Amino acid sequence: MVTQNLLVELFVEELPPKALKKLGDAFASQLADQLRSQGLASVQSVVTAYASPRRLAAHVTQVWRKAADKAVQQKLMPVSVGLDAAGKATPALLKKLQALGADLSDPAATVRALRRAPDGKAEALFYDSLVTGATLDTGLQKALEEAIDKLPIPKVMSYQLETDCELPGWSSVHFVRPAHSLLALHGSTVVPIKVLGLAAGNTTQGHRFEARVSPVLIADADAYAATLARDGAVIASFAERRAEILRQLLAAAAKVGNGAHPIEDEALLDEVTGLVERPNVLVCQFEPQFLEVPQECLILTMKANQKYFPLLDAAGKLTNQFLVVSNISPADASAVIGGNERVVRPRLADAKFFFDQDRKKTLASRVAGLDKVIYHNKLGTQGQRMERVRAIAQAIGQQLGGELLAQQADTAARLAKADLLTDMVGEFPELQGIMGGYYARHDGLDEGIAIAIEDHYKPRFAGDELPRNLVGVVVALADKLETLVGMFGIGNLPTGDKDPFALRRHALGVIRMLIEQDVPLDVSWLIGTSFDACERYEIRGEWTKPDGQTSRTTTPSQLDQKTPELVAAFVFDRLAGSLREQGYSAQEVEAVLALQPQRLGEVPKRLAAVRAFAALPEAAALAAANKRIGNILKKAQDVDPHVSEVLLKEPAEIALFAAMKDVVPKAQTQFEAGDYTASLQSLAALRGPVDDFFDGVMVNAEALDLRLNRQGLLKRLHEAMNRVADLAKLAT
């Protein structure tokens, strides 16, 4: 059969820009998958997604007008159930055949046509039929309905359509936005389908203001994108439109000169691509005096509120120029430029006002106000939370740097959340921490404290940078550990894909800091110290009575006593997932984490050692032997690793003990020096003696003293082999 290419488009009102790419990809992939499942398209069919602010479309190659007929073989039931003693069909068989649509005008003939075949120990009846392949008319109708039903729509709209029947009336339609037309072409032929109250045709609409003709006639499925670009002034492809915006942004910045470049923001670029049909980038500017405001504030207001691209100079400093992606291309763009400049000015003036007002009060003067900000009804206010964070930060600081670091960490922790009460952070929550750093400098605080306040939320997301100084690391650790311990302590554990308190992100932040900063503190100590600090503080509350008097309550902290254990398990689980994402094998990760290493900074070195060991020719045999030793020791209880040379009788055990006396001290010295790779490679020399031992020695000897001595020898060997990782996990 001859195939032709298929084009389907839904023309709608403006779609949510942040969701447009996802909607376009889902629409195209679901449509193609449904066509393939019906045999109307094949795995070789190529699907191309189109998505613009007012359309979702898909182009699918090699689509048949009718799917091939398909032979179907279906097991019915055992012969003993389907036929009676006389060989006639039982009611059960007839009912089954009727459900399958078999022709029962002559039941006897239909039953005779059934195929008998062995099915296990019994013989069964099989019904062979030829299923007629779906036509494109019916198949595309089903595929389109399924694709629409499965769209990841952020929020469904309901609207009314006038019914196309003789009686006047309205019908309700539910879709992401009101749909106005449907285009469906198989080659140049319109496929007669209906969806969302619309009948398919071969026309669509172009740009609202700049289309050359209206409606735009699409002559052929393959002419869709080119025709829309020529007659409709629309770049239909999301990817092509995005690339064009980026090209124009870079070209406009180059014309400005002096190393100017637009800020990099993939999410903003995607959102703007979802807002325009044919982009036109223009250069605008604002008054230089606004640059007195921290550039983070100006950048955020331009990006979040106006969808502009701020221009940075060669040093990464904000300039007073910005780029606008317009959806129109007038001959004289001055009105568009002037309009955008007038719009941005009040936004920047607000930011300057907030900044000026906030600096009239010090951060320290705002701390008391945190006692009026509820953090969680079971964990008290932000003020009470910061008391706990301060206690944790002091303990960590004392361990890492003594009294000075503890005091610096305490100061930074005390002021870290004060900017939550500023006007700027109230308007732009994304600036919390950042504004605290600016206000700390304005208050005359040490630069190290200001940096720690600014950085204590880091890392905020995967790939984010870590705090820049040790004070920041201490406060960031304390802040994240308090959240983990507090939330786990009251039972707010993440479930499935739900993690409202971002505990997974907090755990990964702790992991990254401990590993990448090589913090010399044990995980169990950190969690235990955090738990003690959280449990020590009381939860205070107050409310106003009807008579106007204030009532206060004090409740002891009531955290689950299993919290440290639960948090530790959660952290190691997150660590395992992170390491697998970095390319380590499940075996490597399991081998290292089975020992629950307390210094996470050592984990990469241990993994590297395990990987190097696994590449040795002796690795497989030693891993298998290690697993065997572990199984032996599990069956024995409280094995003493002491070995008496007098009780070593067999040559193989004498040889193993001698080899261990030579190899184990060397491996131990290398282990203590942190050279884990060399330590494991030294142990590879034990392969021969270990193999000989298991070939020539009966571990569970009848004589008790021999048995205990051999178990002790294996215990000592097991301990020596599993200092870096549990090598048994490498056994296949």
- pLDDT tops 90 at residue 75: no
Q: Please report, for residues 106, 176, 180, 200, the alpha-carbon distance to residue 170 in angstroms, rounded to integers and kept in the order given.
A: 48, 19, 15, 20
Query: Using one digit for the tens of pLDDT, what is the confidence trace for 458-493?
Result: 999 888 999 999 999 999 999 999 999 999 999 889
- pLDDT tops 70 at residue 651: yes
Cβ proximity of 281 and 244 under 8 Å: no
Asked if the bond preceding 459 is cis, omega within 30° of 0, the reply is: yes
The residue type at 490: I
pLDDT score for 604: 94
Rounded Cα distance, 174 and 578, in Å: 41
Strand, coil or helix: 698: coil
Cβ proximity of 655 and 689 under 8 Å: yes
Cβ proximity of 382 and 375 under 8 Å: yes
* Tokens found for residue 74: 């279906």
CATH architecture of 601-730: Orthogonal Bundle (1.10)
pLDDT score for 495: 85
> Which band of pLDDT confidence, cut at 50, 70 and 90, is reported for residue 554?
low
- pLDDT tops 70 at residue 304: yes
> Which band of pLDDT confidence, cut at 50, 70 and 90, is reported for residue 72?
confident
Half-sphere exposure of 30 (CA within 13 A, CB side): 20
Residue-averaged pLDDT of the chain: 90
pLDDT score for 130: 72
Look up residue 516 and give its DSSP letter.
Answer: H
Over residues 111-126, the mean pLDDT reads 83
Q: Where is pLDDT greater, at 463 or 161?
A: 463
Helix 136-149 to helix 20-37 angle (10° resolution) is 140
Query: Using one digit for the tens of pLDDT, what is the confidence trace for 363-387?
Result: 999 999 999 998 988 888 999 999 9
Look up residue 106 and give its DSSP letter.
Answer: S
pLDDT score for 163: 62
* Tokens found for residue 460: 């905020």
Note the pTM of the prediction, 2 decimals: 0.80
Extended beta strands in 163-306, E state: 170-175, 179-186, 189-190, 194-195, 198-201, 203-204, 216-217, 261-262, 280-285
Pick the CATH number of 376-576 from 1.10.1740, 1.10.10, 1.10.3210, 3.40.50: 1.10.3210
- pLDDT tops 80 at residue 222: yes
Extended beta strands in 79-145, E state: 115-119, 122-131
Write a three-state SS string for 194-228.
EECCEEEECEECCCCCCCCCCCEECCCHHHHHHHH
What whole-number percentage of the chain has pLDDT above 90? 65
Query: Using one digit for the tens of pLDDT, what is the confidence trace for 80-117?
Result: 888 888 888 888 888 888 887 787 888 888 788 788 88
> Which band of pLDDT confidence, cut at 50, 70 and 90, is reported for residue 649?
confident
Q: Where are the domains of the chain?
A: 3-67+135-231, 70-131, 241-358, 376-576, 601-730
Strand, coil or helix: 260: coil
| R_g (Cα) of the chain, nearest Å | 36
pLDDT score for 189: 95
pLDDT score for 164: 56
Over residues 552-561, the mean pLDDT reads 70
Q: Where is pLDDT greater, at 78 or 204?
A: 204
> Which band of pLDDT confidence, cut at 50, 70 and 90, is reported for residue 570?
very high
- pLDDT tops 90 at residue 166: no
Look up residue 86 and give its DSSP letter.
Answer: T
* Tokens found for residue 251: 């070209």
pLDDT score for 542: 58
- pLDDT tops 90 at residue 598: yes
pLDDT score for 160: 83
Look up residue 600 and give its DSSP letter.
Answer: G
- pLDDT tops 70 at residue 612: yes
Strand partners, 543: 551
Query: Using one digit for the tens of pLDDT, what is the confidence trace for 508-522?
Result: 999 999 999 999 999
Q: Which residues contact 380 (CB under 8 A, 6 or more apart)?
A: 374, 537, 539, 540, 541
Rounded Cα distance, 615 and 670, in Å: 19
